[in-house]
């Protein structure tokens, strides 16, 4: 009979299935080995890049002083620095992270900047990818410099933006003058609230009006 007996044909199907399974297992084993090797290259690259991004983050934090808090996040497949800006105008969170691509062949650098509330356009995110076999430290340094400067520009734009200033402005209850909190001539705690004044005279008038003892 053409094609062999029924028993031979059934046996051949099982043998073919076993061969496919063995081939798939071998491919998976090779994939796991390749990924583990890629993860090792990624870890080595991150160690070498500490000399690139470490000083840059230090200088960035130095320029902002106590206005910023940097929190490092480390895992086998990710390195991340999260910068939180202390401001009365908005909450700014800058996250710059390094990770390995799904196939463990590339270094992936991501930048995300979140400003809440937001009243203007700014660079919210960007990505740089490069082969783990060809890490370009200069390119990494330039990319990081550009992202940090972009964040500074967004921060300064927020400081000058009229919508944020309106949120930050306070009003003298006597003169109705509006100004930034830090520009107040004097303040007064009254009924659990801080009242801001443009001058000592307006403060005295307010205290007289509300019968507050000096």
What is the rounded distance in angstroms from the CA atom of residue 13 to the CA atom of residue 35? 33
How far lies 207's CA from each of 11, 174, 182, 191, 200, in Å? 101, 10, 21, 12, 11
Residue 82, domain member (yes or no): yes
Q: What is the pLDDT of residue 138?
A: 97
Whether residues 36 and 116 share a domain: the answer is yes
Which tokens in the block code for residue 148? 């940090």
Q: What is the reported pLDDT for 2?
A: 56
Residues 101, 123: one domain? yes
Residues 83 and 177 in one domain: no
What pLDDT score was predicted for residue 151? 96
Domain limits for position 47:
32-162
Looking at the 3D structure of the chain, how many domains does it have? 2
| Structural domain contains residue 187 | yes
Do 156 and 183 sit in the same domain of this protein? Answer: no
In a domain? residue 22? no
Residues of the chain with pLDDT under 70: 1-3
Supply the pLDDT for residue 125.
Answer: 97
* 114, 62: one domain: yes
- Global pTM? 0.70
Cis peptide before 117 (omega within 30 of 0): yes
């Amino acid at each position: 009979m053409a094609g062999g007996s029924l028993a031979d044909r059934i046996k051949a199907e099982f043998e073919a299935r076993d061969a496919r399974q063995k081939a798939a297992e071998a491919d998976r084993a090779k994939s796991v080995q390749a990924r583990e090797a890629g993860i090792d290259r990624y870890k080595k690259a991150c160690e070498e890049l500490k000399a690139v991004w470490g000083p840059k983050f230090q200088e960035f934090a130095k320029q902002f002083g106590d206005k910023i808090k940097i929190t490092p996040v480390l895992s086998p497949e990710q390195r991340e620095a999260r910068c939180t800006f202390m401001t009365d105008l908005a909450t700014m969170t800058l996250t710059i992270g390094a990770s390995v691509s799904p196939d463990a062949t590339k270094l992936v650098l991501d930048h995300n900047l979140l400003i809440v509330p937001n009243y203007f356009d700014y660079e919210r995110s960007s990505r740089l990818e490069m082969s783990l076999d060809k890490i370009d430290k200069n390119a990494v340094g330039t990319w990081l410099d550009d992202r940090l400067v972009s964040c500074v520009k967004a921060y300064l734009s927020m400081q000058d933006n009229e919508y944020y200033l309106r949120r930050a402005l306070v009003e003298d209850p006597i003169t109705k003058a509006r100004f930034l909190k830090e520009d107040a001539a004097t303040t007064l705690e009254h009924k659990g609230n801080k009242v801001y004044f443009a001058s000592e005279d307006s403060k005295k008038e307010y205290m007289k009006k509300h019968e507050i003892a000096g």
